[in-house]
Amino acid sequence: MNNNKQFPPIHIHPIVFFFFIIAAITGMLVEWCIIFFIVFIHELGHFLCARYYGWKIKRIYLWIFGGVMEVEKDREVPMKEEWLVIISGPLQHVILFFFFSIIGMLELLPDQTIQIAMYYNLFILLGNLIPILPLDGGKMLHLLCQHQFPYYIANCITIVISVFLIVLTCSIAYVTKFLTLSLFMLFIFLFWENRLEWKRRHYTFWHFLLLRCTALLENKRQQVIFSESQVSLFSLFRQFYRNRNNVIWINGRSEELSERDCLHFFLKNKNYHITLKQIMDEKKEVDYG
């Protein structure tokens, strides 16, 4: 665990300043300050938990109704660890409920201000738990999918569900006349983020494979993958699970390959079109040689 207390750079999206000007003009500066404070505490929860586990945090990016903590992924993080970092953000809202209640009981702020703070705290909490990337609910959905499906498939499923829920939620907000300018811009932001995630899904997948090279000795749980001998490495890699030691069983040959063998041959030959049969044959030549 890393006890380094250095705080990462905080970047504020330009749209936040735009809303600050609008809030100042329309007399909603108090609401803006409350929202910004809640978002900051939320991200602070993520940061403190991630720092506790020694994550390398590049920066915290704040938006009007949320933020993003960017981390440097140089190792495969245990799912339990990632669950705790994700949950630590929403948990701050529970603490904020008690905080605002105490402020109200001590009469340090007007009752109307406390009610507004309570409302936005609940609104941001519930909104953040919607299973849409990059919201915490979307990250939870991503982890659930990774537990049930291979990494590549889980990534695609999460993005597709996120886009579907963006369209559905935006439509419901429009029909119920709850759709505001700020909420619409939030939907645009979420849609754009998922579009980017879809475009870089292949890069994310290859990065996952590279991390697998250092994670093999750490995973005790095995995942048996049954495959034909003519299957290429590229097709096989798409069946790899996260946080498990994948073992490949060759149908019809009563032979198995380890995940380490497959990744080794890929990194050595730089050819993901090579078949499992070719790997087995080459491996036998090396063993008997």
pTM metric for this prediction = 0.84
User: What is the DSSP pairing of strand 10-12 with strand 255-258?
Assistant: unpaired
- CATH 3.40.50 fits domain 210-288: no
pLDDT classification of 2: cutoffs 50, 70, 90: very low
Q: What is the mean pLDDT of the chain?
A: 85
User: What is the DSSP pairing of strand 222-227 with strand 245-250?
Assistant: parallel
Indicate the length of the chain as a whole number: 289
Does residue 253 surpass a pLDDT of 90?
Answer: no
pLDDT in tens, 195-247: 999 999 999 998 898 888 766 555 667 888 888 888 888 888 999 998 888 88
Beta bridge partners of 222: 245
* For range 5-25, the mean pLDDT: 77
What pLDDT sits at residue 144? Answer: 96
Structure tokens at 24: 């100042």
What pLDDT sits at residue 227? Answer: 85
